[in-house]
Amino acid sequence: MLDLGSLLVSMGLQSEMQTVRKDIEVAQVFGENNQETESNAVVDAVASSLETVENAASAVANALTPPAGAVSGVLDACASHAPSVDFSLPTAPVFKK
């Protein structure tokens, strides 16, 4: 499950990086090539990729955590007392000669 999540996150990151590269290329064609634009694009790409990772981790955690209603239903179905065990010694001999 975690491998699938990692794969989806990396695919999303690759597509976002391609979009950022295209935006930078368009900015270079139109002469908007300044350092501030490139650094903002990189910052935005890193921020969005971290947000994607956070969302994926949150989705995995939510999928692995049961809802409160399910937990209380299982606890209600469980026995409310522990079984009793007799540890007393036998009074009659078990083995006969």
Domain membership of residue 83 (yes or no) is: no
Domain membership of residue 87 (yes or no) is: no
64 alpha carbon, distance to own chain's centre: 8
Mean pLDDT confidence for 67-90:
75
Domain membership of residue 71 (yes or no) is: no
Domain membership of residue 31 (yes or no) is: yes
Domain membership of residue 15 (yes or no) is: yes
pLDDT digits (tens, 9 = 90+) for 11-51: 777 777 778 788 777 776 666 555 566 677 778 888 888 88
What's the chain's average pLDDT? Answer: 76
Residue 90 DSSP SS3: coil
Domain membership of residue 70 (yes or no) is: no
Flag whether pLDDT at 64 surpasses 70: yes
The boundaries of the domain holding residue 6 are: 2-65
Residue 31 DSSP SS3: coil
Domain membership of residue 18 (yes or no) is: yes
Domain membership of residue 75 (yes or no) is: no
Least confident window among 24-28, 47-51, 58-62, 83-87:
24-28
Q: How many domains are contained in the chain?
A: 1
